[in-house]
Structure 1
Amino acid sequence: MSAPALGAPLLELHGVTRSVHIPDREPLHILQGIDLSISTGDHVSIQGRSGSGKSTLLNILGLLDVPTTGELYFDGRPVSSMGEKQRAVSRGAQVGFIFQQFNLLPGRTALENVMTPLLYARGTQFWQRERLAARMLERVGLGDRLREKPHKLSGGEQQRIAIARALVRSPRLILADEPTGALDIDTGQRVMALLDEVALESGAALVTITHDANVAALAQRHYRLGDGILNAPELAA
């Protein structure tokens, strides 16, 4: 598959830092001067060991957190000018999260879990939420498991539900935190191919946070994060 043409910048980080103040101790500096630009149609991976700041950076990219200093621009707008409610609205409409912990609703079926983001949609997406959710579950290979609840599914199946839920609203930004962590190698490759396919179809930006060098290498640009510092990108061959 050829690389898609990149569009306008969707995310821009300029000198972003994130620190946590701890009583009676020096501040903990998690991110240090991050500069990064991610455009629509982009696929970027960020690789780093546990404790390197990957999850903190993901939370900032997904508007769950804000920088201590520096500026994040989302679709050209400085996030510092948004209130918490405005960030939540933009996040719900434009960002799809694939969390390592799945975060599924235990009492709901696979179909109901994937439908959840569409309950906040408008127009066609809201009225056709069941059909859209069923179609996305079919795409991740779970078309025969629509009525099953998470406790009856394997870890890999639960992760595919989480992926379907993240993609069902066709977000402009897909943030995947260890998206293949609970999958075998073959299923993991299919999932990454699906993420790339959906991102390409919709023109979305895809950011993969991972410790897996094989997953990271699938991106167009591959960054390494260590001690809160983002190294220069390695380009795909």
Structure 2
Amino acid sequence: MTELLRLSDVTRTVHLPDESDLHILTGVNLSIASGDHIGIIGRSGSGKSTLLNLLGLLDKPTTGTIEWDGRDTRDLSSRQAARIRGRDVGFVFQQFNLLPGRTALDNVAAPLMYAPGRAFWNRREIAAEMLRRVGLAARVDSMPESLSGGEQQRVAIARALVRGPKVVLADEPTGALDVETGAEVMQMLDAVTYESGAALITITHDIAIAQMARQRFRLEGGKLLSVAEATP
């Protein structure tokens, strides 16, 4: 497997108005390769969103290094980081964030409006195939409001995967779903990303969802610990 991301001694500190420092992450180490499914669990305020922003190249560490395909992200300009993020990172959130008044097909095809060449001209065919892969071949012309919560999240997943990202970041992806539907959606997301060779990082507070990952970590006190190291 090809290593995609490597975090080495990554910290993230925020300087507060009262002149004190808030240490959110303190020495995070993580290696992410193609085909990985990594589950990261943590309580509210544990730094999950901060870590997500770093993995998604939305922010840079205070100290330490993040390498993307062997390149130190500190050397990337904002434009270069945005280009990698748009091309190689897919985001799945708790809220589906589908475009109202647009069909499932239109929602999934939307990211391809900015794609080059064939992907742009064939965007509707590519989007339809992606919807088929997530089990929604019969719902391509459906509006978001006519879809169940699980179906809406499947559309959101298809949209995240339509450009063939190398890394998929799922932030509480089942938070708006019931337990059974959430488990089904996660199984589908795991299968589709693994089939495509992408790495899947699931960030959640739900132990059952994190346990579906092949590698599991817990954020505690700003540190990322393997499940074996984490306190009960």
Give the TM-score normalised by structure 1.
0.89
1:27 to 21, 30, 42: 21
Aligned to 2:208: 214
Aligned to 2:86: 92
CA distance in 2, matches of 1:128, 1:63: 28
Shift of residue 185, structure 1, vs aligned partner = 3.1
Deviations 1:61-94 (A, max 9, x none): 0111111111100110000000000001001111
Aligned to 2:163: 169
1:74 maps to amino acid:
W
CA distance in 2, matches of 1:66, 1:148: 39
**Any idea what SS the aligned residue of 1:231 has?**
strand
Shift of residue 112, structure 1, vs aligned partner = 1.3
CA distance in 2, matches of 1:197, 1:234: 25
2:72 to 74, 78, 97: 78
1:178 maps to amino acid:
E
Bigger drift between 162-171 and 224-233 goes to 224-233
Aligned to 1:65: 59
Contact in 1 for aligned 2:150/2:182 (Cα 8 Å): no
Contact in 1 for aligned 2:90/2:169 (Cα 8 Å): yes
**Any idea what SS the aligned residue of 1:138 has?**
helix
Tell me the matched-pair count: 229
User: Counterparts in 2 of 1:27-176, with a 5 A limit?
Assistant: 27-176=21-170
CA distance in 1, matches of 2:168, 2:131: 17
* Deviating 4+ runs (over 6 angstroms): none
CA distance in 2, matches of 1:203, 1:18: 30
1:17 maps to amino acid:
T
Identity of aligned pairs, percent?
60
CA distance in 2, matches of 1:109, 1:37: 38
1:155 maps to amino acid:
G
Contact in 2 for aligned 1:118/1:129 (Cα 8 Å): yes
CA distance in 1, matches of 2:101, 2:60: 32
Contact in 1 for aligned 2:13/2:21 (Cα 8 Å): yes
Contact in 2 for aligned 1:159/1:182 (Cα 8 Å): no
Shift of residue 36, structure 1, vs aligned partner = 0.8
Deviations 1:95-126 (A, max 9, x none): 11101222222343221111111122223322
* Cα root mean square deviation, aligned: 1.8
Aligned to 2:197: 203
1:181 to 163, 175, 192: 175
1:193 maps to amino acid:
Q
Bigger drift between 86-95 and 140-149 goes to 140-149
Shift of residue 177, structure 1, vs aligned partner = 0.9
Q: Identify unmatched segments of 5+ residues in structure 1.
A: 1-6
CA distance in 1, matches of 2:228, 2:103: 41
Contact in 2 for aligned 1:16/1:72 (Cα 8 Å): yes
Bigger drift between 116-125 and 69-78 goes to 116-125
CA distance in 2, matches of 1:21, 1:106: 39
